[in-house]
């Protein structure tokens, strides 16, 4: 058996990011245990090789997976459950939401910012039809150049192949008027977006009861 230090769960507990795990390590986490003749890592590597990687695994039926030596129906169900989670995440309703006005941003993020005591900065990545590809909170704290850097703002947009972005953050005070920092940060994001070819459509400041659009305010 492999040493515990090499087990993927232990690696992640010690600080490794789950995204750094190899394919067979990810599958090993799902399987949990190996068989009498093979440890969990050997088993997961063998299954991936036999079925042609994750793409082949996704196309395999429940009993088709269960027939692999050392798997069985229980582990096959675990694999199918993990696949189903991925499918549901991809088809999540948020991906079908079209953002056509600042109020849409406010309605979308209100559940997340309601009664929030800290400022949270959000990035909405949009496709060419203004539908959301990704919604991500990238920082917490007062909006400053140090906390909200263009590389963090555009990270998800580049990764998701976004056509444009909208950013938003809340003012716990309830006053949605933009600060000097809000305006300067917005202008920096606009400049970076022009260089990257991913325009900033709006920066919306949110409160529990209202919102302010920096685009409508003439800052974009």
Task: Give me the residue spans of the domains in the chain.
Answer: 4-90, 94-213
**Cβ proximity of 126 and 132 under 8 Å:** yes
**What class is the 94-213 domain?**
alpha beta
| Phi-psi domain of 218 (left: phi exceeds 0; alpha: psi -120 through 50; beta: other) | left
DSSP string, the chain: ---GGGSHHHHHHTT--GGGS-HHHHHHHHH----SSS-HHHHHHHHHHHHTHHHHHHHS-HHHHHTSTTTHHHHHHHHHHHHHHHHHHHT-GGGG-B--SHHHHHHHHHHHHTT-SS-EEEEEEE-TTSBEEEEEEEEESS--TTTS-HHHHHHHHHHHT-SEEEEEEE-TTS--SPPHHHHHHHHHHHHHHHHHT--EEEEEEE-SS-EEETTTTT--
| Phi-psi domain of 149 (left: phi exceeds 0; alpha: psi -120 through 50; beta: other) | beta
Q: Angle between the 40-51 and 23-31 helix axes, to the nearest 10 degrees?
A: 120
Q: What is the pLDDT of residue 145?
A: 45
Tell whether pTM > 0.75: no
Q: What is the pLDDT of residue 51?
A: 86
Is the pLDDT score of 57 beyond 50? yes
Arithmetic mean of pLDDT over the chain:
86
**Sign of torsion, CA 91 94 97 100?**
negative
Q: What is the pLDDT of residue 105?
A: 94
Question: At the topology level of CATH, where does 4-90 sit?
Answer: DNA polymerase; domain 1 (1.10.150)
Range in 15-19, 78-82, 126-130 the model is least confident about: 15-19
Residue 11, Cβ neighbours under 10 Å: how many? 17
Is the pLDDT score of 64 beyond 60? yes
Span 197-218, mean pLDDT?
95
Q: What is the pLDDT of residue 2?
A: 43
Q: What is the largest CA-CA distance in the chain?
A: 68
Q: Which of 123, 161, 154 is nearest to 139 (CA)?
A: 123
Q: Which of 86, 88, 75, 61 is nearest to 30 (CA)?
A: 75
Which residue has better confidence, 100 or 185?
185
């Amino acid at each position: 058996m492999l040493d515990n230090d090499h087990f993927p769960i232990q690696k992640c507990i010690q600080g490794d990011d789950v995204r750094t795990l190899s394919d067979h390590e990810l599958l090993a986490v799902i399987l949990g245990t190996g068989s009498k003749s093979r440890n969990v890592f050997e088993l997961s590597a063998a299954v991936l090789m036999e079925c042609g990687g994750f793409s082949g695994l996704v196309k395999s039926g429940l009993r088709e997976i269960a027939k692999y030596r050392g798997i069985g129906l229980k582990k096959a169900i675990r694999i199918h459950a993990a696949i189903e989670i991925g499918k549901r995440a991809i088809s999540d309703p948020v991906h079908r939401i079209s953002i056509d006005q600042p109020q849409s941003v406010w309605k979308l993020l209100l559940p997340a910012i309601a009664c929030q005591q800290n400022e949270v900065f959000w990035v909405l990545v949009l496709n060419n039809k203004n539908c959301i590809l990704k919604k991500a909170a990238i920082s917490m704290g007062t909006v400053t150049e140090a906390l909200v850097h263009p590389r963090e703002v555009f990270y998800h947009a580049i990764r998701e192949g976004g056509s444009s972005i909208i950013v938003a953050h809340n003012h716990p005070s309830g006053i949605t008027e933009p600060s000097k920092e809000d305006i300067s940060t917005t202008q920096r994001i606009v400049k970076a977006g022009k260089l990257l070819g991913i325009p900033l459509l709006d920066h919306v400041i949110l409160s529990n009861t209202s919102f302010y659009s920096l685009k409508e305010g003439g800052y974009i």
